[in-house]
Structure 1
């Protein structure tokens, strides 16, 4: 007797209800590889507001508050002036939008080098060395051969990019000269398929949900036109419908009747005619539409309050939790996507602005959530009270020296903007450690010493 091999499935099955078997209708559902052409992507973005908002909102929020440079005031002024000259914020926003839309975009760092196919030497960027920044999409930039050297900085990424310019001339660009925005990640590393070394459009995974919501809204809009239907039963209508004179008389007759009804609300009919009015049931349509919008919101990972621009619904609903989670997501985009992508560009900007590279220069992304004046005042009071507690009520009770605590508070209040202009006043009047001790402080210190 031969061996019998039993096949086991790690899933729930029921032969009685056909659940999980080949007769189960749900068993016929499977996923296929979604493919969106550039024409479909452009049509969706231009023709429907939902795809446009899904593409634009996270990119806009990532750049909206921008970033705060941390350095000497004069250095910060130079860097911000250089960013303004190059329109860095606008270029990054544009590239981020187009990267999300097409699955790939880049900001080309133009330094005036004669051979852009060579690696960009950041250390040799002089003051004013960046001439321009240019946004290019994957439709303009063709990715070259993939680098397969695991020791290379560009491993598993294109070694070169090719741009077709005027008169069909092809320009070869080294990836170090590009700030790349690859849209959604391709999980299968489809470097030889449709993505061609880029990512894929954000709309790829969300378009079905968007189309369902748009279709539902369109059907509801059509239903509004059929919300009320007048029905008039005319004796002998079917027998005479082929008579042209009869048809014209009927149209003229009820056009007049409808006009009279529109003027004074009275409908004039023959005694043998019957009239009734039917209204479509519209209750619950809003809930159905909002259910589809919730699905779109989940697919796009954008709160409904932000996607639709509406106030939170329900008792005691503030939307604070949703927006906090969304702001955390935007912060993740800034720190995990924008910061690494812009690292080389930032090094160039610092050198182009100052002519050198001070390692003490860095930046932080500005928070999206803005505090009210009352919240700022409460935080300022809390910090001040904590400082008084650390310093003690009299000399000799300090946990931290007055001078150290003073310098720390000056730094804190300068960074959070609690006391505008504090830096300049400190430069004018000096730090606490530079001040002459007062007579009361000398007496208190002497008294403490005798004890």
Structure 2
């Protein structure tokens, strides 16, 4: 009986292969070694997330850069009393509100939930953390401390879809890190009015938000494998082949010693002296097609992170060229996060500052005055692109003048009195935002 070759065995296995898209009865019996499954969800523990974040700079960019961009240019408060508006902005900076909000966004992306505790002083009767903040007795905001879900034991959400407060958090249970007399964890019930809670991605019937790294687990694994593979290619990009009739007669120790000697000599000496019956040659690893594979990996990684590759690699924040439409889309997404998620939190802080008697302006009912929060522009064109656009606008204006479409006064007003090019390209404000920020914890 003829001995089966490796190729024969491979053909036998091929008859039973079946990919994850095939169902039973369509392609033969499923191979037991097939492990891939469609839509297989990766669950990451807190330790897994910590390890991934701590060990990969690209993952840190995915988590940190959008958080930094969300608060980098911060806000402007618009109200009739300009002095009060500037004082409130200064007070937010003194409280390190931009840094606290940035950390909250980063924790939301990393862990699925980000929090900021609001330390306040109240006058009158004693109160506890589980009591709602009484704005009528509020004296001051003392501190803002960001933290992640690792400090939160659980929180209770109203799941009744016919209740007016459906989806709202009723209370949080915080673990401050202390223990009781019997060494059991000390738990604190905290009212939702005493903290900010950001949760941008939540799966139905799951209280905790989802980390951005969970759905990216597969592409992160592929990216890590690609990085390792490129390192191996570079390490072995060139290697030596030494052919000698004495090779079969060498012992293991002699073979090892010869390898070390040849490796050293071939790296440091330009001349190799060998026997006529021996041959020494240098081979180079072929890398055809590797660039396309790596480009595919980068594209999928950028798509999963919803960030352009240039931003993943640390492009200068806020500066783009005219051809970077992917950067425009990215900043539009950041602006959407600001409007939909951050605006209520920031407005809630400002409302508390207005109510507090010891804060700028004294005790003011926020609903008694007109005010709004405006997010400052996230990006600007680079100097070359803006110069090119201005040149084209000047050429267009010249044509309009010659054709008598516009007068010199109309062009002067349009180009120099109605704002800059950035004002025309700026994302529009939320028309419904007029200082009506609700409780930022929900």
Secondary structure in 2 aligned to 1:299?
helix
Residue 120 of structure 2 corresponds to: 111
Deviation of 1:207 after TM superposition, in Å, equals 2.3
Q: Distance in 2 between matches of 1:386 and 1:136?
A: 58
**Considering only CA atoms, is the larger Rg found in Structure 1 or Structure 2?**
1
Q: Deviations over 1:33-82 (max 9, x none)?
A: 32100001000001011211111111111111111111232012211121
Residue 353 of structure 1 corresponds to: 360
- Structure number with higher helix proportion: 1
- Relative to structure 1, the CA distance from residue 167 to residue 321 in structure 2 (aligned partners, 3 Å threshold; closer, same or farther) is same
Q: Is the contact made by 1:103 and 1:183 (CA closer than 8 Å) also made in structure 2? A: yes
Residues 1:217 and 2:227 aligned together: yes
Secondary structure in 1 aligned to 2:86?
helix
Q: Is the contact made by 1:257 and 1:267 (CA closer than 8 Å) also made in structure 2? A: no
Deviation of 1:223 after TM superposition, in Å, equals 1.3
Residue 199 of structure 2 corresponds to: 182
Q: Is the contact made by 2:88 and 2:350 (CA closer than 8 Å) also made in structure 1? A: no
- Structure number with higher strand proportion: 2
Matches within 5 A, 1:135-150: 135-148=146-159
Residue 86 of structure 2 corresponds to: 77
Q: Distance in 2 between matches of 1:379 and 1:346?
A: 41
Matches within 5 A, 1:150-299: 154-165=165-176, 166-168=178-180, 169-186=186-203, 188-190=204-206, 197-241=207-251, 247-248=253-254, 259-299=264-304
- Relative to structure 1, the CA distance from residue 386 to residue 106 in structure 2 (aligned partners, 3 Å threshold; closer, same or farther) is farther
Residue 334 of structure 2 corresponds to: 330
| Structure 2 gap segments, 5+ residues each | 1-20, 181-185, 398-405, 424-442
Q: Is the contact made by 1:179 and 1:345 (CA closer than 8 Å) also made in structure 2? A: no
Select the residue among 50, 59, 63 that pairs with 2:71.
63
Q: Deviations over 1:189-236 (max 9, x none)?
A: 22xxxxxx3211111111221221121121111111111111112223
Select the residue among 368, 373, 378 that pairs with 1:368.
378
- Output the TM-score relative to the length of structure 2: 0.71
* Aligned CA-pair RMSD: 3.6
- Relative to structure 1, the CA distance from residue 379 to residue 110 in structure 2 (aligned partners, 3 Å threshold; closer, same or farther) is farther
Select the residue among 27, 31, 40 that pairs with 2:48.
40
Secondary structure in 2 aligned to 1:160?
strand
- Relative to structure 1, the CA distance from residue 276 to residue 98 in structure 2 (aligned partners, 3 Å threshold; closer, same or farther) is same
- Output the TM-score relative to the length of structure 1: 0.70
Deviation of 1:120 after TM superposition, in Å, equals 2.0
Deviation of 1:88 after TM superposition, in Å, equals 0.5
Q: Distance in 2 between matches of 1:345 and 1:125?
A: 13
Q: Distance in 2 between matches of 1:62 and 1:379?
A: 31
Q: Is the contact made by 1:183 and 1:202 (CA closer than 8 Å) also made in structure 2? A: no
Deviation of 1:331 after TM superposition, in Å, equals 0.6
Residue 53 of structure 1 corresponds to: 61
